[in-house]
Chain A
Amino acid sequence: MKTQLYTLPDWQQVLAEIGWKDAPTKASIDQTIHRELTKGYVTFEQQPQDKPIEAGCRVTLKTTSVLPKYNREKTVIIVGSHLYDADIENMLIGMTEGQSAKAKVKDEIVLFDVVKAEQKVYPALSDEMVQAQQLEGIISLPQYSNHMQIKLRQAYAKQLCEGMLDKLIQHASMDEPDAEDIRQVINRKFKPLRERFSHGGDDLDNMSPEKWTETFYNPAMRASYEQIYPDIAPLFDTTSKESFYENERGPAAQTIRKCLVLRYILQDNTDAHDPTQELKAEPELMQAMIDRLCGIIYMEG
Chain B
Amino acid sequence: MAIEYPTTKDYDQVVAEGFWIADFYTSLCGPCKLVDRIINEIVLDNPDINWAKCNLENDWGMQERYNVLGTPTLIFYLDGEEKGRMVGGFHSKKEIETEISKIIYGE
B67 close to chain A: CB less than 8 A? no
- Which of B43-51, B58-66, B72-80 lines the interface with chain A? B43-51
User: Are B31 and A83 in contact, CB atoms less than 8 angstroms apart?
Assistant: no
User: Are B46 and A78 in contact, CB atoms less than 8 angstroms apart?
Assistant: yes
A94 close to chain B: CB less than 8 A? no
Q: List CB contacts (< 8 Å) of A223-281 with chain B.
A: 224-225, 227-229
Encoded as 1 (CB less than 8 Å from any B CB) or 0, chain A from 2 to 25 comes to 000000000000000000000000
A199 close to chain B: CB less than 8 A? no
CA A184 – CA B106 in complex, angstroms? 57
Question: Which of A43, A44, A68, A225 makes the CB contact (< 8 A) with B30?
Answer: A225
* Nearest B-chain residue to A83, judged by Cβ: B101
Question: Which of A69, A81, A221 makes the CB contact (< 8 A) with B45?
Answer: A81
Indicate whether A44 sits within 8 Å of B90 (C-beta atoms), given known contacts A39-B1, A82-B97, A225-B30.
no
User: Are B100 and A83 in contact, CB atoms less than 8 angstroms apart?
Assistant: yes
CA A69 – CA B1 in complex, angstroms? 30
Question: Which of A83, A224, A229 makes the CB contact (< 8 A) with B89?
Answer: A224
Question: Which of B31, B40, B90 makes the CB contact (< 8 A) with A220?
Answer: B90
Q: In the complex, what residues of B have CB within 8 A of residue A129's CB? A: 1
* Nearest B-chain residue to A227, judged by Cβ: B34
B33 close to chain A: CB less than 8 A? yes
Interchain nearest-CB distance for A54 vs B (Å): 14
User: Are A83 and B105 in contact, CB atoms less than 8 angstroms apart?
Assistant: yes
User: Are B44 and A44 in contact, CB atoms less than 8 angstroms apart?
Assistant: no
CA A263 – CA B57 in complex, angstroms? 46
Interchain nearest-CB distance for B30 vs A (Å): 4
A125 close to chain B: CB less than 8 A? no
* Nearest A-chain residue to B103, judged by Cβ: A83
Interface size of B as a range: 20 to 34
A40 close to chain B: CB less than 8 A? yes
CA A231 – CA B74 in complex, angstroms? 27
Indicate whether A83 sits within 8 Å of B104 (C-beta atoms), given known contacts A39-B47, A224-B89, A225-B30.
yes
A76 close to chain B: CB less than 8 A? yes
B10 close to chain A: CB less than 8 A? no
CA A69 – CA B2 in complex, angstroms? 30
B107 close to chain A: CB less than 8 A? yes
CA A84 – CA B49 in complex, angstroms? 13
A288 close to chain B: CB less than 8 A? no
CA A203 – CA B47 in complex, angstroms? 48
User: Are A78 and B47 in contact, CB atoms less than 8 angstroms apart?
Assistant: yes
Q: In the complex, what residues of B have CB within 8 A of residue A220's CB? A: 90
Question: Which of B37, B90, B105 makes the CB contact (< 8 A) with A221?
Answer: B90
Q: In the complex, what residues of A have CB within 8 A of residue B48's CB? A: 58, 76, 78
Q: In the complex, what residues of B have CB within 8 A of residue A69's CB? A: 105-107
Encoded as 1 (CB less than 8 Å from any A CB) or 0, chain B from 18 to 56 comes to 000000000000110110010010011111100000000
Interchain nearest-CB distance for A33 vs B (Å): 13
Question: Which of A41, A75, A81 makes the CB contact (< 8 A) with B46?
Answer: A81
A299 close to chain B: CB less than 8 A? no
Q: In the complex, what residues of B have CB within 8 A of residue A83's CB? A: 46, 97, 100-101, 104-105
Q: In the complex, what residues of A have CB within 8 A of residue B43's CB? A: 39-40
A207 close to chain B: CB less than 8 A? no
- Residues in chain A within 8 A of chain B (CB atoms): 35, 39-44, 58, 68-69, 75-78, 80-84, 120, 129, 132, 220-221, 224-225, 227-229
- Residues in chain B within 8 A of chain A (CB atoms): 1-3, 30-31, 33-34, 37, 40, 43-48, 89-90, 97, 100-101, 104-107
